[in-house]
Chains A and B, each alone.
Chain A
Amino acid sequence: MAGVNEIIQPVTLTLTLAFIVTALLLVIGTPISWWLSRSRSVWKAPVAAVVALPLVLPPTVLGFYLLLAFGPNGPGGPLAALWGARTLAFSFEGLVIASVLYSLPFMTQPLRTGFEAIGRDSLEAAATLGANRVDTFVRVVVPEARAGYLTGMVLTFAHTVGEFGVVLMIGGNIPGETKLVSMAIYDFVERLEWHKAHLLAGGMVLFAFVVITAVMLLDRRAGRVVG
């Protein structure tokens, strides 16, 4: 049964990682995107650029810096020491941190677009009716930006699933801990176990197709709501 587990384990691990990263980025991405959509600060452009960096940088750049940062000589060492480890590399926690950084723009870009589409009228109307800021956010902003939220979640999830370069550089390829689907495919190809590689790779193609179709449908619906 080891053969089956070789397929199932990376899939389960990858899905778990993608769920956690998507949830974290919902929390982290919302205030950043809101600030980016409303602020007039001179810092807006630089901050937006920093957030968008992972879109442009090769994953090896992030992987290289994370490898150094995660180790005992970087900030990751003291952090990992909190639970008795020496390094954040080679751990699921490390992958979560890396993926949050790597997938950040995939959450913030759609959210920001969604927030920017909300007119001042809605917000002012809510304020006139005595809604406090939390009320306004939950009852007005979130429903109006729901297409942005959906797109952001789908893209974040998909992008985390598709991560490879960063994981290759900091993961250590530990089954059940850091061996994601993309790594497993790479290994199978390298070991000439092409049948298993096909199973996972074919699954990824199907997955990507479904995701892209979903995003396109979401975009069309969002277009109708706004227009």
Chain B
Amino acid sequence: MCRSFAVYGFAVLTLLASPAPAADVSAAVAANFTRPAEELGAAFTARTGNTVTFSFGATGQLFTQISQGAPFEVFLAADAARPARVVAEGLGAEGSTFTYAIGRVVLYAPTLDLTDGAAVLAANAYQHLAIADPKTAPYGAAAVEVLARLGLSDAVAAKLVTGENISQTLQFIDSGNAELGFVALSQVIDKPSTQVWWVPAEDYPSILQDAVLTKVGEADPAARAFLEFLKGEEARAIIEKYGYAVGTGD
């Protein structure tokens, strides 16, 4: 009896003490970055043996969770403001923020010809225009800005439906419930070009997507390694492949 306890206790201690052969990084990631993040995670695992577990959501919602003690080690936001605030509120590692991707807003409509997207928008011959929540999702704010520059804010106000994040916005369009909407280029990179209208970059403020290492992640070498990996050539190629520009790495 005593002996078996001792053996059991020893086994538990051994488990606790042995260095983990592969660490798991927990990352909170803005919904628009879902697909590249998954590929980046796989590439990171292939290179280091460490895995990354992603939690996708709206940047605002993820920030709220981090501010309430969610144990994310890495935060890949869809804007620069939230990671800066993570640091300012003492929840992130000083100096760890950097721009990992620069987002592009596009208009997407699976059933319309968007060769001239501005004209389609202005023609106003649709019932629902989907955007992400402009108060929490940077792509939503960018969409609102684009509509304002085109002078369509009032004309389409009654037709806007708001996805809780950019993934839901795409879901509204793909399910056919909204005819068109503003999403991230990365989400529709493999769609036929007539279904996607690239909004001129000067029509909206550039969407700098920043990453930050949280206080939780500061102690985890694997989390640091993942952020370093994001700055490397291999990662930048993946990020560009999905329709993002990449920053200077600072």
- List the interface of chain A (C-beta within 8 A of B): 67-68, 70-73, 77, 85-87, 89-90, 168-170, 172-174, 186-187, 189-192
Is the beta-carbon distance between B176 and A72 smaller than 8 angstroms? yes
- Which A residues touch B210, using CB under 8 A? none
Shortest CB-to-CB span from B178 to chain A, Å, is: 7
Q: Do A172 and B162 contact each other (CB < 8 Å), given the known contacts A86-B127, A87-B177, A190-B61?
A: yes
Is the beta-carbon distance between A190 and B127 smaller than 8 angstroms? no
- List the interface of chain B (C-beta within 8 A of A): 58, 60-61, 64, 127-128, 130, 133, 135-136, 160-164, 168, 171-172, 175-179
Interface centre among A68, A169, A190 (most CB of B within 10 A): A190
- Which A residues touch B172, using CB under 8 A? 89-90, 172
How long is the Cα–Cα vector from A173 to B130 in the complex, in angstroms?
Answer: 11
Shortest Cβ distance from A67 into B: residue? B175
Interface centre among B58, B136, B172, B179 (most CB of A within 10 A): B172
Shortest CB-to-CB span from A187 to chain B, Å, is: 7
- Which B residues touch A187, using CB under 8 A? 133, 135-136
- Which A residues touch B128, using CB under 8 A? 86-87, 90, 172
- Which A residues touch B61, using CB under 8 A? 190
Is the beta-carbon distance between B64 and A172 smaller than 8 angstroms? no
- Which B residues touch A90, using CB under 8 A? 128, 161, 172, 177-178
Shortest CB-to-CB span from A85 to chain B, Å, is: 6
Shortest Cβ distance from A188 into B: residue? B135
The 5 closest A-B pairs by CB, nearest first: A172-B161, A71-B176, A89-B177, A173-B162, A87-B177
From the candidates B135, B175, B177, name the one contacting A191 in the complex (CB within 8 A).
B135
- Which B residues touch A71, using CB under 8 A? 175-177
How long is the Cα–Cα vector from A90 to B130 in the complex, in angstroms?
Answer: 10
From the candidates B60, B127, B130, B177, name the one contacting A67 in the complex (CB within 8 A).
B177
- Which B residues touch A191, using CB under 8 A? 60, 135-136
- Which A residues touch B168, using CB under 8 A? 169
Is the beta-carbon distance between B177 and A190 smaller than 8 angstroms? no
Can you show 28 pairs from A to B with CB atoms below 8 A apart?
A: A67-B177, A71-B177, A72-B176, A73-B175, A85-B127, A86-B127, A87-B127, A87-B128, A87-B176, A89-B172, A89-B175, A90-B178, A168-B164, A169-B168, A172-B161, A172-B162, A172-B163, A172-B172, A172-B178, A173-B133, A173-B161, A186-B164, A187-B133, A190-B60, A190-B64, A190-B136, A191-B60, A192-B64
Shortest Cβ distance from B68 into A: residue? A189
Shortest CB-to-CB span from A46 to chain B, Å, is: 29
Shortest Cβ distance from A171 into B: residue? B161
Shortest Cβ distance from B127 into A: residue? A86
Shortest CB-to-CB span from B103 to chain A, Å, is: 19
Q: Beyond the given A70-B177, A174-B161, could you list 20 further A-B residue pairs with CB under 8 A, ordered by the A residue number?
A: A67-B177, A71-B177, A73-B176, A86-B127, A87-B176, A87-B177, A89-B172, A89-B175, A89-B177, A90-B161, A90-B172, A169-B168, A172-B162, A172-B172, A173-B133, A173-B161, A174-B160, A186-B164, A190-B58, A190-B133
Shortest Cβ distance from B135 into A: residue? A191
Q: Do A67 and B171 contact each other (CB < 8 Å), given the known contacts A173-B133, A189-B64, A190-B61?
A: yes
- Which A residues touch B171, using CB under 8 A? 67
How long is the Cα–Cα vector from A172 to B178 in the complex, in angstroms?
Answer: 10
- Which A residues touch B136, using CB under 8 A? 187, 190-191
Interface centre among B61, B136, B162, B171 (most CB of A within 10 A): B162
How long is the Cα–Cα vector from A67 to B136 in the complex, in angstroms?
Answer: 23
- Which B residues touch A189, using CB under 8 A? 64
